[in-house]
Structure 1
C-alpha cells in the first residue's frame, strides 16, 4: 500500500524536474562556455568578434531585469564549473583568455561581456 502512494509522488517529482530543467541553457554568441543567465537577453547586433595575431577578441551585451547581486552570484558559481578561474570581481581567465563582465544601470541591468587574450 505504501509503495503505491509513492508512485504519484515520484511522478510529480519527475514532472517538476522536467519543467524546471526544460529550458535549454543558452550561451552568448561567440563565447564558448559562457552561459546566458536566465532573466537577461542578448542585445541583438551588439556582438563583435575578430581574431588578432595574439588571439580572439569578442564583445557582447545583454540586458534584463535581474539584480547586479544576483548576476554576480550566478557567474561566480557558473563559470568555475566550466573551467574559468575567478581572478577579480567578475574577471575570469581560462586557457590564455581573459573574460571581463561589466555591469551598467539597474533596471534594466546592462551587462557587457568582453573576452581578450591574456597578456601575462
Structure 2
C-alpha cells in the first residue's frame, strides 16, 4: 500500500511540474483549471442564460511574466484530459468543443497578459 501511495505522489508532482496545474479552478467555470501565474479579474464573471442555453465570460490577468503561448500549451494539455477537443487556433484565440459547449480563450492584451475565457452552449 505504501508503494502505491508513493507512486501516486510521484505521479502527482511530476504532472504538476510539467503542466503548471494547480488545484484551483476558475470561478464560474465548474471544471476549467486556473493556470498558475494567472488571477481572475476583480470585475468578476458575467453569466446569463437558462438550462438550455447559456453564456459565461471572465477575464484573467497575469500576476507574473507569462506568454500566450504558455497559456495555449497549458490549456491544450489540461482541457484534452477533461474531454475537450480543440476546434481552432490562431495567434490570439483558440477554442475547444465538449458535448454542446464551446470554450474560447482569447488574448485581449499582451503586456501584462490579459485573456478572456468564454463558455457558450451550442444549443
From the superposition, tell whether residues 56 and 37 of structure 1 become closer, same or farther in structure 2 (CA, over 3 Å).
Answer: same
What do you get for the CA RMSD once the two structures are aligned? Answer: 2.5
From the superposition, tell whether residues 80 and 24 of structure 1 become closer, same or farther in structure 2 (CA, over 3 Å).
Answer: closer
Contact preservation (8 Å) 2:32, 2:79? yes
Superposed structure 1 runs of 4+ greater than 6 Å apart = none
Match of 1:118 among 100, 103, 122: 122
Report the TM-score, using the length of structure 1 for normalisation: 0.75
Contact preservation (8 Å) 1:66, 1:107? no
Between stretches 74-83 and 42-51, larger displacement belongs to 42-51
Which residue number corresponds to residue 82 of structure 2? Answer: 82
Between the aligned partners of 2:43 and 2:111, the Cα distance in structure 1 is 21
1:24 Cα offset (Å): 4.8
Higher gyration radius (CA):
1
Instruction: Check if 1:43 corresponds to 2:47.
Output: no
Contact preservation (8 Å) 2:47, 2:57? yes
Which residue number corresponds to residue 92 of structure 1? Answer: 96
Between the aligned partners of 1:98 and 1:24, the Cα distance in structure 2 is 23
Between the aligned partners of 1:82 and 1:32, the Cα distance in structure 2 is 12
- For residue 42 of structure 2, give the secondary structure of its aligned residue in structure 1: coil
Size of the alignment, in residue pairs? 104
Alpha-carbon displacement from aligned partner over 1:30-82 (angstroms, at most 9, x marks no partner): 11211111111000123111223641210000000310111111111110101
Between the aligned partners of 1:112 and 1:57, the Cα distance in structure 2 is 13
Gaps of 5+ in 2: 1-5
